[in-house]
Chain A
């Protein structure tokens, strides 16, 4: 009797993410595809042949793919050394610095683009300095509207995925394995290549996949920074849907995009499920150490400084401009203007209310996606069968799906829920849950099954085993997953295509609204709100990172 009850509740738990996916992903997607291909009551696939025949289409597919691969590579090159620093060293201000590296993740593209232009644009700061210093006539840095700025921006946005996902995993690796290698006489490079790297592979590939998917479906960065010359499939879907209202072509492009991402994900998930092995883990406090000698200290400082210039300079440029815009020295007037309803607009909200709205949505997303993502991960951790083989990539699919297409799908399928406030965290969860799965699953898979077996032998009930073995050992991975869910919601990925309620604006909405009207005050208010968004996310991330329940969180 008791066993039956347990099985039923387990079944319900596993069913939750599947039902969620079916209702909020598959159903709206099916509806919009049907509407697109079946406009006048008969199936019509004429758009497909037409699209395939255009050389432009193939150019877009090729560009989308290679820029995503290149961006992921660049992000790894920048991110891995930083992940190492954060995993293996203890230094002052570590959690604040780590929070700062995650800020780009929540920043609206328009604002980041402004910061990039202010720094590296034709008449940007860097060019001004270089021109003055070397006495040059033409600006030496010509990055804007090139493919380089796209790759750099992608690395800027996604480096925190590597730092957090890989770094989190790294910090729990037992250093005794490396120490054993060192005792046996292996040099540092060999140690890294033959011991550490293989152990890290599951989390590196998982993080790379997430970065790849973000770059593959990149929209704002390509559109704003890349200029006219570059288009990803997502940009083309937007153009076909919004400006031309050519739904059949847009739907076909969405299918191509999903097909390509599904293939990548299927290959990855297959390799992953086979590759992971149980490992002994250690609390992170015991694996990290303070730098011991001047060499380590110098290395640490050097790489941190490099990171600061790369990642934080654009953000600092924003902060600086929010206090000095207009060229009359230091001013607080843009922050002050945010709090005043100058034109008695019906849609004005004080900045604190926008902060509250954003935090509400982010908290709801956090809990919803942790619940669904962790349930999914346990489902995928079951003995491998055809079902897990299919579900594994399917759980990732929302990340590889066009936000434009899905947004329009919601319009025709969600009934009264379309204008409900709940649709916002639901849509955010669709993007955040795959992150939770991907950060949680590697940790779950390396959990040594003997621990649970011992607990069972000693007479612990399954629930107690879960509470005493799984929960404390996996809590670190939960915190990493929580930071992702939270930041995804704060940055409002893909949610621009939902219906917004002007009376419940979030921080990004306030920024976009200010950028919709001319006048320096509006620009300054957008900058000021961006700085508030940065501060709120930094503080929230530090809080999440420090979150502890009793002994939990030590891992």
Chain B
């Protein structure tokens, strides 16, 4: 036994770790530790679906002599809760990713400061849900139903056109949905059915769906990649899935066989789609309010907005932003999405989900 050997190994490992620490960008902070000489650091926190091009980030960093640091805080609900809990010692300067189902919770918690960005002028009024502009719309997307085009052609079955069609015997065992308690598209679809059938009728619809052998998955990834016939590459057995109107373009962009037309098509029943709007806001307590506002401006301006569709698969909020061809071709915006007020969602979320769970587990 030679203890010194152990020590050498120990020291080496620690050195390795220290090296890794140095190789990484500086740790977060709200700008306190940045020296006056180098670029300032601005922290942008978001949910884990946030993505952006290198080149777009570089544009902002160079123009403002700033280093952007990103934090990923979990899914949309988790991320917002973390932001609210850390109110007294903010994690970041700017937070992106509050959606309209969580808007009320975010505004009630009083964690964002108002900012009247000049770029709001280019954003349609229907997307602006906070009159005080504490949260500014960045993008929107539609939760809808995706169908396996070839499957329906082969079976000689017409695509469903209304929500009611989904409960017909010929559509038995075809649909997979997500659990609204654990998945945001799941909640969005539940909200659409509440809008369409009313608070008195939606549970009957879900009873009929359950009786029609509808499968419930806990997450979108599960539903899409494991059960949806297109998403799973043929291993799943559900040709209908609750997903997004922008999933078909992704089926082409991320194809493994070079296809030029998506294997899935959008089914947008009247009131059967739900618009999710995502917002950005400057966090109260930021030490760099001006830079934070500049970042918000940048996120609403065309360079960032035109990067959004193929990075995050949602539509840009700014009307001046050009849509990529794939979106124009395969991701038409649904005609009449369901409308549910954010206040109503926050007030009834638990009761609606509980009632839904009771019906679906009976």
Residue ranges of A at the interface with B (Cβ–Cβ < 8 Å): 35, 110, 113-114, 117-118, 122-123, 223-224, 227-229, 238-239, 241-246, 321, 325-328, 331, 333-334, 341, 343-348, 356-357, 360, 363-364, 367, 408, 411-412, 415-416, 418-422, 467-468, 471-472, 496-497, 499-504, 512-513, 515-524, 526, 549-552
B20 contacts A by Cβ under 8 Å: yes
CB distance from B349 to the nearest CB of A (A): 7
B74 touches A113 (CB 8 A): no
Q: Which residues does chain B contribute within 8 Å of A245, judged by CB atoms?
A: 77, 81, 84, 105
Q: Which residue of B lies closest to A124 (CB)?
A: B235
* Given A408-B85, A467-B3, A502-B72: A416 and B27 interface contact (C-beta under 8 Å): yes
Q: Which residue of A lies closest to B105 (CB)?
A: A245
Q: Which residues does chain A contribute within 8 Å of B91, judged by CB atoms?
A: 411, 418-419, 499
Q: Which residue of B lies closest to A116 (CB)?
A: B226
Q: Which residues does chain A contribute within 8 Å of B357, judged by CB atoms?
A: 228
A421 touches B21 (CB 8 A): yes
**How many of chain B's residues have a CB under 8 angstroms from any CB in A?**
84
A518 touches B313 (CB 8 A): yes
B74 touches A501 (CB 8 A): no
B82 contacts A by Cβ under 8 Å: yes
Q: Which of B344-358 contact A (CB under 8 A)?
A: 349-350, 353, 357
Q: Which residue of A lies closest to B6 (CB)?
A: A549
A245 to B74, CA, bound (A): 15
CB distance from A345 to the nearest CB of B (A): 5
B218 touches A515 (CB 8 A): no
B226 touches A520 (CB 8 A): no
A363 touches B13 (CB 8 A): yes
A515 to B225, CA, bound (A): 8
A552 to B5, CA, bound (A): 12
Looking at the complex, which one of B16, B89, B244 makes contact with A360 (CB distance below 8 Å)? B16
Q: A344-B55, A521-B256 given; name 18 further pairs at CB < 8 Å.
A: A123-B235, A227-B218, A243-B349, A243-B350, A243-B353, A325-B256, A367-B14, A411-B82, A411-B86, A419-B29, A419-B43, A502-B50, A518-B243, A518-B254, A518-B313, A519-B254, A520-B257, A550-B5
Q: Of the 9-residue stretches B111-119, B159-167, B245-253, B276-284, which lies at the interface with chain A?
A: B245-253
B297 contacts A by Cβ under 8 Å: no
B28 touches A518 (CB 8 A): no
A346 to B182, CA, bound (A): 28
CB distance from B38 to the nearest CB of A (A): 18
- Taken residue by residue from 170 to 213, chain B's Cβ proximity to chain A (1 for < 8 Å, 0 otherwise) reads as 00000000010110000100000000000000000000000000
Q: Which residues does chain B contribute within 8 Å of A549, judged by CB atoms?
A: 1-2, 5-6
Q: Which of B38-55 contact A (CB under 8 A)?
A: 43, 48-55
B250 touches A518 (CB 8 A): yes
A103 to B233, CA, bound (A): 25
Q: Which residue of A lies closest to B173 (CB)?
A: A122
A344 touches B85 (CB 8 A): no
Q: Which residues does chain B contribute within 8 Å of A522, judged by CB atoms?
A: 250, 254
Q: Which residues does chain B contribute within 8 Å of A114, judged by CB atoms?
A: 225-226
CB distance from A221 to the nearest CB of B (A): 11
CB distance from A495 to the nearest CB of B (A): 11
A345 touches B311 (CB 8 A): yes
Top 6 closest pairs, chain A to chain B, by CB: A519-B254, A419-B28, A521-B254, A518-B250, A518-B247, A515-B221
